Chain A
Amino acid sequence: MSYKKIWCVFVLKCCCFTTALAQNSVADSSIKKLELNEVIVCEHFSQQDEVFNFYRNNKSATTEEILLRMPGISLIRRGSYGMEPMLRGYSAGQINLTLDGMKIVGACTDKMDPVNIYVEPANLQSLQVTTGASGSGMGSTLGGGINMALKEPEFLCNNKPYVGFNSGYNTVNKSTSNSLFLNLNNNKIAWRISGAYRKADDYKTGGRVTVPFSGYEKTNVATSIIWQASEKHSLKADYLDDRGWNIGFPALTMDVGYAHASIASLSHTFQNDQNFFRTIKSKVYYNTIQHSMDDTRRPFVPMHMDMPGKSKTMGYFSEFSIKKIQKHMITGRVDASHSFTHAEMTMYPINEPAMFMLTLPDNYRINTGVFLKDDIKIDSVQLLSVSGRVDRMLSVMDSEFGKKQWSVFGTFPLQRVFYTSNIQLAYSRILSKSTSLKAGIGYAERAPTPNELYGYYLFNRLDNFDYTGNLLLKKEQAKQGEIEVNMVQKRTMVQAVFYYHHINNYILGELNPAWIAMTIGARGVKSYTNLSFARIYGGDFTFSHLFNKHLEHISTAKITVGADADGEALPQMPPLKCLHAFKFKKKGWFIQPEAEWALPQYRNSASFGEMETTAYSVFNLRLGYKFNTGGHAVHFSTSIENITDRTYREHLDFSAVTRPGRSFIFTLSYSFH
């Protein structure tokens, strides 16, 4: 499918959610997608897409705010920016967070820079969420993956320039967000550039109490050019530059002084439906992240310190799909990447020499993998999907100083090789005109992350322990089962997913009582270790209903439960959380009331020092108006979030820092083509 065609479909369908809902068959809803070209929001219909579209209407939303509302996704919050996605209780190294299929490694040892912060909604095309072993398309994973597809230049039917801007203001933190884009194309070449700038002061929590060190400032520029060389071949070059300054992390002891990501890639797409390889999409990429934690703005620091870190990743992948052979639809991917990470810390005591250590000694990992998937359409009501992936991961500590540091723990293998495999078997069956069922089993493995292997006295604010790596860690292995029920009536859609994962060698910190914490105020030292096993289970539920052509409703609920071998709760497991929204649309106007609530979390990890989190409910109201005239599109919206000015925190929020209080958000967007 050419880019032009996709765009036209997109324009057509995005205007009418109703059509999209009606058009999509039950079978489609159970197919998780991996081909990037086909993901355009309305092409297939799935739970994620529906939610994504519903909430993306809020034009000033950050990528995080969209993620937050997706089924299965929770966010670990350390500050008002830089929230880390968690997928059904899995986070960090257990999930793949990719950008257009590219592997990007955060440069912050405290996970202050999950990859999603380097993307702006202005250049985000879609989010593709895959769960469990089925997410291994992008790399070996236990929890699945979130791939953020970047917007591509569009081949518009009329070859006219397409420009737009979006501007927003939020009263709760006096934040402004502005973004611009420009799209130019002729029949052969399309070019897009977008820029975004955000600046926020400290926000006020419920009761108008200011939360210090919660402001941030950032810019993001992304540009992309496509050359449609022929019917079969196209080339694309992408570059994204994201810079942030003084990003506050009120829940941590330090802020981010600056963060800079440069992300570049070159892609080639081949497409020929007659060929054995119907499509081959290849990409080479390179990205660097520089990140610096800083406490110079904080009062009362016992000792000033700097903690810079950097990462460099280069990689390659090819995704292909093979001509349909009888009932088989085979797709696959080969990939390789080399990623380097380094983090250090320097502390400056008064009248004494500076103190230096490598908190993450220079290390690199080379990952090569192959992924294959076969969708077998057994008959008109049955679909069997088999996918598998094998990986080789070489992890090497590459620093003499780092090796010396590590000698205090004894003698360990500083170079590790991990072979991992991921297998997923999913069977879907249409039971009746309105009901379909999908059952999946999977086996997943993942190698420990550099932090888990090489981390050196990394302070974790959540439990107040210093963490050291463990070079003897074994890979995590999970057996997974999942059942999904879909019911689609004429106006109603219900989807329920239940999952159960049994994870062997679950990696978690274990107290090392003989060792003394390095960080001032830390309670001790924990080392990563493999628990004999842990269990994670839960469910995601979506309900949507179209009352009439003006009024629709969507509700989502998600819950995850985690327990170790002794039945003790795993840390950082979200309680039941629900979102309900109605949207009333008429003649360009829309009004959208929302309710968000969560149950209290009493299942806490005692060894992690987790506290109970109380239940909360917040209400939002959005109002908007848009009109199109002669190529001009204007969209105005205003939102009131947390109408009751509730003081609350979610269970995954670090420390006792509460969320923003009542906020008024105004956005205006305009586009012309």
Chain B
Amino acid sequence: MKSLTRAPKAIWILAVSLSLIFFTSCKKDDDTSTPLPSDPYPVPSTLKLIGTTYAQGASAIVKLYAETDLQTGYNKIYVALYDSLTQARITNSHIGFNPLMHMMSMTHACPFENPDENAVKGLFEGAVYFSMPSNSSEYWTLTLHVHNHSNDKEGEAEFNITVKNTPNRIISLTALNDSSKLLISLVKPPKPEVGMNDFEIAIHKRANMMSFPGVDNYTVEIEPTMPSMGHGSPNNVNPSFTSDGHYAGKVNFTMTGLWRVKFLIKQGTAVVDSTAYFDITL
């Protein structure tokens, strides 16, 4: 994708978007939740609105959507931008995420993936990996740096957001020998079920409190087990590196109940970490 030049890419995206709109509008026509009838990119009703605010300086209204309530671990974030004067959709903009956890004595960030500057179906899609839930005294903010390419203006929009704890333990933070930390997050499947599941994780290294780059040169082995039974499952495929700290494989769950997916992370032959795990209840 990155090797494509902008013009053909835009045409391609437009074509795909149009065909998608055509396709979905054939299926049902109640897919709109946006008030503007002239909006060419209605936001799917399956998405949940997290907040709306004004990006000062960029002349843009920013609407933030997610697939569910924001929760610990991997969250897909969808951004819809509107021109604050004309209400027209902005489909080309640079958006930079800046998630910040405000604790009693300190602040820290968490890993994120910024959206592409070209919106798909009117939405800029990125991701944030919240490393902890918010509570009454500690809260998350998500600041978006918006560079509106249509008017070349820049500004920032800040959201106060609530991050819930997931019932499943699908992030794993472990300290490494070099005083850095490794954050492993479940990307896929969003809803694990009995049977064969696509299994995708993202591995980020905490360089400092504000920087969490993805790590690309690990090898990952997984072992799903049921802790109360001591058994595992057959035919799992170890996740292998795809891009940007993401690793994809397959995980098999043979029955419902609590499953623990244990990780063995290696760099070459050296073991980086063997303590990380997810707990997933089916």
Q: Which residues of chain A have a CB within 8 Å of any CB of chain B? A: 303, 347, 349-350, 352-357, 401, 403-410, 456-457, 512, 514-520, 525
Known A-B contacts: A407-B195, A409-B235, A518-B255. Give 16 more (CB < 8 A): A349-B257, A352-B228, A353-B256, A354-B257, A356-B255, A404-B193, A404-B194, A406-B195, A408-B234, A408-B252, A408-B253, A410-B235, A516-B233, A518-B229, A518-B254, A519-B231
Q: Are A352 and B257 in contact, CB atoms less than 8 angstroms apart?
A: yes
Nearest CB of B to A391, in Å: 32
One of A401, A512, A515, A517 near B194 (C-beta < 8 A): A401
Q: Are B229 and A347 in contact, CB atoms less than 8 angstroms apart?
A: yes
Interface flags for B144-178 (1: CB within 8 Å of A; 0: not) read 00000000000000000000000000000000000
Q: Are A356 and B229 in contact, CB atoms less than 8 angstroms apart?
A: no
Q: Are B233 and A408 in contact, CB atoms less than 8 angstroms apart?
A: yes
Complexed CA–CA distance, A377 and B180 (Å): 93
14 contacts between A and B (CB under 8 A): A303-B229, A347-B257, A349-B257, A352-B228, A355-B256, A357-B194, A357-B256, A407-B196, A407-B252, A408-B234, A409-B235, A457-B254, A515-B234, A519-B231
Nearest CB of A to B15, in Å: 33
Q: Are A355 and B193 in contact, CB atoms less than 8 angstroms apart?
A: no
Which residues from A are CB-within-8-Å of B193? 404
Q: Are A514 and B256 in contact, CB atoms less than 8 angstroms apart?
A: no
Nearest CB of A to B83, in Å: 47
Within 198-231 of B, Cβ neighbours of A (below 8 Å) are at 226-231
One of B254, B257, B258 near A408 (C-beta < 8 A): B254
Query: Does B281 touch A at the CB level, under 8 Å?
Result: yes
The 9 tightest CB contacts between A and B, nearest first, are A355-B257, A404-B195, A357-B255, A349-B228, A408-B252, A407-B196, A407-B195, A356-B256, A515-B234
Report if A355-B229 is in contact (Cβ < 8 Å); known contacts: A349-B257, A404-B194, A408-B195. Answer: yes
Nearest CB of B to A315, in Å: 33
Q: Are B234 and A514 in contact, CB atoms less than 8 angstroms apart?
A: yes
Complexed CA–CA distance, A357 and B257 (Å): 9
Complexed CA–CA distance, A515 and B231 (Å): 10
Interface flags for B225-265 (1: CB within 8 Å of A; 0: not) read 01111111111000000000000000011111110000000
Nearest CB of A to B48, in Å: 26
Complexed CA–CA distance, A406 and B234 (Å): 11
Which residues from A are CB-within-8-Å of B281? 353
**Which of B193, B231, B281 gathers the greatest number of chain A CB atoms within 10 Å?**
B231
Which residues from A are CB-within-8-Å of B227? 352
Which residues from B are CB-within-8-Å of A512? 234
Which residues from A are CB-within-8-Å of B194? 357, 401, 404-405
Query: How many chain B residues have a CB neighbour from A under 8 Å?
Result: 22
Complexed CA–CA distance, A350 and B258 (Å): 12
One of B228, B234, B255, B256 near A409 (C-beta < 8 A): B234
Q: Nearest residue in B to A303 (C-beta to C-beta)? A: B228
Report if A354-B234 is in contact (Cβ < 8 Å); known contacts: A303-B229, A404-B193. Answer: no
Q: Nearest residue in A to B195 (C-beta to C-beta)? A: A404
Complexed CA–CA distance, A303 and B257 (Å): 13
Which residues from B are CB-within-8-Å of A401? 194
Nearest CB of A to B257, in Å: 3
Report if A353-B257 is in contact (Cβ < 8 Å); known contacts: A401-B194, A404-B195, A408-B196. Answer: yes
Complexed CA–CA distance, A512 and B235 (Å): 12
Nearest CB of A to B52, in Å: 38
Complexed CA–CA distance, A354 and B228 (Å): 11
Complexed CA–CA distance, A340 and B195 (Å): 23
Nearest CB of A to B101, in Å: 30
Nearest CB of A to B189, in Å: 12
Which residues from A are CB-within-8-Å of B257? 347, 349, 352-356
Report if A352-B258 is in contact (Cβ < 8 Å); known contacts: A303-B229, A408-B253. Answer: yes
Interface flags for B21-51 (1: CB within 8 Å of A; 0: not) read 0000000000000000000000000000000
Report if A516-B256 is in contact (Cβ < 8 Å); known contacts: A355-B226, A408-B195, A408-B196. Answer: no
Q: Nearest residue in B to A522 (C-beta to C-beta)? A: B231
Q: Nearest residue in B to A411 (C-beta to C-beta)? A: B196
Which residues from B are CB-within-8-Å of A525? 234
Report if A518-B231 is in contact (Cβ < 8 Å); known contacts: A404-B193, A408-B196. Answer: yes
Q: Nearest residue in B to A357 (C-beta to C-beta)? A: B255
Nearest CB of A to B73, in Å: 20
Q: Are B258 and A353 in contact, CB atoms less than 8 angstroms apart?
A: yes
Which residues from B are CB-within-8-Å of A349? 228-229, 257-258
Which residues from B are CB-within-8-Å of A518? 229, 231, 254-255
Q: Nearest residue in B to A351 (C-beta to C-beta)? A: B228
Complexed CA–CA distance, A25 and B219 (Å): 81
Complexed CA–CA distance, A408 and B230 (Å): 18
Which residues from A are CB-within-8-Å of B253? 408
**Which of B232, B255, B256, B257 gathers the greatest number of chain A CB atoms within 10 Å?**
B255
Which residues from B are CB-within-8-Å of A350? 228
One of B229, B254, B255, B258 near A520 (C-beta < 8 A): B229
Complexed CA–CA distance, A410 and B250 (Å): 11
Which residues from A are CB-within-8-Å of B235? 408-410
Complexed CA–CA distance, A515 and B235 (Å): 8
Q: Nearest residue in A to B281 (C-beta to C-beta)? A: A353
Which residues from B are CB-within-8-Å of A405? 194-195, 254-255
Q: Are B231 and A357 in contact, CB atoms less than 8 angstroms apart?
A: no
Nearest CB of B to A306, in Å: 13
Complexed CA–CA distance, A346 and B61 (Å): 52
Nearest CB of B to A662, in Å: 43
**Which of A401, A405, A517 gathers the greatest number of chain B CB atoms within 10 Å?**
A405
Q: Nearest residue in B to A403 (C-beta to C-beta)? A: B195
Nearest CB of B to A222, in Å: 39
Q: Nearest residue in A to B232 (C-beta to C-beta)? A: A516
Which residues from B are CB-within-8-Å of A519? 231
Which residues from A are CB-within-8-Å of B231? 516-520
Complexed CA–CA distance, A85 and B258 (Å): 40
